[in-house]
Amino acid sequence: MPEPDVHTLDFAISGMTCAACAGRIEKALHKLPGVNVASVNLATERAHVEAASPGLAEAVTAVVAKLGYGAQLIHPGTRLPDINDGQEGWKVVCAALLTAPLVLPMLGSIFGQHWMLPGWVQALLATPVQFWLGARFYRSGWKAAVNLSGNMDLLVAIGTSAAYGLSLYLLFRHPEHLYFEASSAVITLVMLGKWLETRARRQTTEAIRALQALRPDTARVRRDGQERDVPLANIKVGDVVVVRPGERMPVDGRIVEGISYLDESLLTGESEPVKKSLNARVTGGAVNLDGVLLVETLAVGTETTLSRIIRMVEDAQIAKPAIQRLVDKVSAIFVPVVLAISLFTLLGWGFYNGAWDQALLNAVAVLVIACPCALGLATPTAMMAGTGVAARYGILIKDADALELAHRINYVAFDKTGTLTEGRPVVTDVLVAGTDETTLISLAASLESGSHHPLAQAVLDYAKQHAITFAAATNARGLPGRGLQATVAGRTVFFGNVRCMQDIGVEMGLLDVQAQGLLQQGLTISWLAEKEQGQARLLGLLAFGDEIKPQSKAAIQHLRKLGIHTILLTGDNPVSAQRVAQQLGMDEVRAEQLPESKASVIMALRQQGHVVAMVGDGINDAPALASADISFAMSSGTDVAMHTSAVTLMRSDPLLVADTILVSRRTYNKIRQNLFWAFIYNMIGIPLAVFGQLSPVMAGAAMALSSVSVVSNALLLRRWRPSAGSSQE
Other CB atoms within 10 Å distance of the CB of residue 340: 10
639 in Cβ contact with 661 (< 8 Å)? no
- Name 86's Cβ contacts closer than 8 Å, sequence gap at least 6: none
Paired residues of 254 in beta bridges: 281, 296
Helices (H) and strands (E) in the chain, counts: 25, 26
The Cβ of residue 281 has, within 10 Å, a number of other Cβ atoms equal to 12
- The 10 Å Cβ neighbour count of residue 419 is 30
Q: Give the CA diameter of the chain.
A: 115
Give the count of beta carbons closer than 10 Å to the beta carbon of residue 640. 15
Distance, CA of 559 to CA of 566 (rounded, Å): 8
Kindly provide the b/e burial profile for residues 602-629, where b requires at least 16 CB atoms within 10 angstroms of the residue's own CB. beebeeeebbbbbbbbbbbbbbbbebbb
Where does residue 588 rank: exposed (0-12), middle (13-18), buried (19+ CB within 10 A)?
A: middle
- Helix, strand, or coil (residue 254): strand
Report yes or no: 670 and 385 within 8 Å, Cβ to Cβ.
yes
| Sign of the torsion formed by the C-alpha atoms of 247, 252, 258 and 263 | positive
DSSP letter for 131, please.
I
What CA–CA distance (Å, rounded) separates 249 from 266? Answer: 13
Where do runs of H (alpha helix) occur along 67-85? none
Which H or E run contains 528?
Answer: strand 524-532
Cα 377 from Cα 704, distance rounded (Å) = 13
Contact 355, 349 (CB under 8 A): yes
**Three-state DSSP string of 338-370:** HHHHHHHHHHHHHHHHCCHHHHHHHHHHHHHHC
Determine the Cα–Cα distance for residues 100 and 180; give it in Å rounded to an integer: 11
CA dist 362 → 133, 356, 369 (Å): 24, 10, 11
Task: Supply the residues annotated as catalytic.
Answer: 415
- Comparing CA positions, the residue from 574, 573, 551 lying closest to residue 658 is 551
Q: For the residues of 20-68, what is the DSSP string, one character each?
A: HHHHHHHHHHHTSTTEEEEEEETTTTEEEEEES-GGGHHHHHHHHHHTT
The dihedrals phi and psi of 397, each to the nearest 5 degrees, come to -100, 120
Taking the alpha carbons of 352, 358, 364, 368 in that order, is the dihedral positive or negative? negative
What DSSP string runs through 553-576? HHHHHHHHHTT-EEEEE-SS-HHH
* d(C-alpha 621, C-alpha 616), whole Å: 6
